[in-house]
Homo-oligomer: A and B are copies of this chain.
């Protein structure tokens, strides 16, 4: 079951919280989390996640998650954030309630950043259905949404 997804989530979390400069190093952290696999797989995962390697004053180069925070203009983003009302989960499906008419624009933001955690969204007028990937838990979806629309931070209860 969800082994690959679980691993991908762990990789994202580790890169977000640590300063890591090689696959070997990341591999060790994953081992410590009980996830056991090889460098070849990790190399493929990093490529899949579009992880970048950027200059770091301390460690030369370190891994960095791509900007989920898409290059969409900020106006669209704060407009969308304004329409957000709530997020709830039923099993692992997410349902966002918005002010009337806001659902499509918020869903568009999510679709554009296209995180692997979310397979797709369906927007009506004031409701969005979020379909998470296998083995992705509500908490992961929430984490993801905050990266996409920073304004949501705080509005999303755990």
Contact = CB atoms under 8 A, between A and B. Distances in A.
Contacts of A61: 47, 52-53
16 contacts: A47-B55, A47-B60, A47-B61, A50-B55, A51-B55, A52-B52, A52-B53, A52-B54, A52-B55, A52-B61, A53-B53, A53-B54, A53-B61, A54-B54, A54-B66, A55-B66
Q: How many copies does the complex hold?
A: 2
A97 B51 CA distance: 43
Nearest to A57: B50
A157 to B, nearest CB: 31
Given A50-B55, A54-B66, 14 more contacts: A47-B55, A47-B60, A47-B61, A51-B55, A52-B52, A52-B53, A52-B54, A52-B55, A52-B61, A53-B53, A53-B54, A53-B61, A54-B54, A55-B66
